Amino acid sequence: MDIEQLADACGGLAWISERLFEVEGRLATGSSEGELLDARTRVLLARSSRRHGQHAQWWRAALPDSPALAGADRVRPPTDAWARLLGHMEDAAPVGAVAALCEVALPQLTLVIEHFGQELSPVSDGAVIRTARMVAADLAEERYDLKEVWNSPDVPSDGALEELAERFADNYRKKRWPPLVTH
C-alpha cells in the first residue's frame, strides 16, 4: 500500500468514525424524534460514541501532513455504500438506527479494519497498525455488548438494511476501498 492509498484509507476511516460518533451520540442522548431507547442501550451508545470520537482523532493523526498529499482533504466518505449507510442511520428512528449499526455498520467496519490491517507493513506503518488493533478491540467489545441488549431480526422486515448490506458486497467484489484490499 503506498502513501496515497494509506492516506485515503485513514481519511475514510476518520470520516466513518466521526459520523458514528455523531449518530451514536445523538441516539445516546435521546435527542432524536421517535421512540426512546432503553437506558442500558443509551449508556452503551454513549460509551461507543466517545470511542468513535477517539478513533477519528487517531485516524486523522495518521494522515500525512505533507501539503502535497492534502491529508485533511482525504477525510470524506470512502464509498457510496458508507455514505448511504450513515445517511440512513442519521435519518432513521432510534430503533432503525441501532438496527443499522448492529446489523450493517459494525460488522462492515470490523471487516474493513481486519483486511486493512493485513495490507500494512510493520516496517513503515507501525503507528497505523497499532491504531487498527486498538480500534478492532473497541469494535469487538461494542459488538459484544450491543448483542446483549439488542435483539435484532436476522433479516430486516423493510429490506432497507438488506439493500445497504448488498452495496457493501458490491464494493468488495470491485475492491474499491480500502485500496488494494482483497475481501
Assess whether pLDDT exceeds 60 at residue 91: yes
What pLDDT was estimated at residue 23?
A: 96
**Long-range contacts of the stretch 51-57 (C-beta < 8 A, 24+):** 51/138, 51/142, 52/17, 52/18, 52/20, 52/21, 52/24, 53/17, 53/18, 53/21, 53/25, 55/13, 55/17, 55/131, 55/135, 55/138, 56/14, 56/17, 56/18, 56/21
pLDDT digits (tens, 9 = 90+) for 102-156: 999 999 999 999 988 888 888 888 899 999 999 999 999 999 998 887 765 443 4
pLDDT digits (tens, 9 = 90+) for 40-64: 999 999 999 999 999 999 999 999 8
What pLDDT was estimated at residue 46?
A: 96
What pLDDT was estimated at residue 33?
A: 63
CATH code for the domain in which residue 14 is found: 1.20.1260
Is residue 150 domain-resident?
yes
| Tally of structural domains, the chain | 1
Mean pLDDT of the region 85-98:
93
Is residue 182 domain-resident?
no
Is residue 180 domain-resident?
no
Assess whether pLDDT exceeds 90 at residue 65: no
- C-alpha grid cell, residue 94: 432510534
- C-alpha grid cell, residue 58: 487517531
Assess whether pLDDT exceeds 70 at residue 158: no
Is residue 57 domain-resident?
yes
Its domain, for residue 8, covers 3-174
Residue scoring higher pLDDT (37 or 13): 13
Is residue 183 domain-resident?
no
Q: What is the mean pLDDT of the chain?
A: 86
Assess whether pLDDT exceeds 50 at residue 18: yes
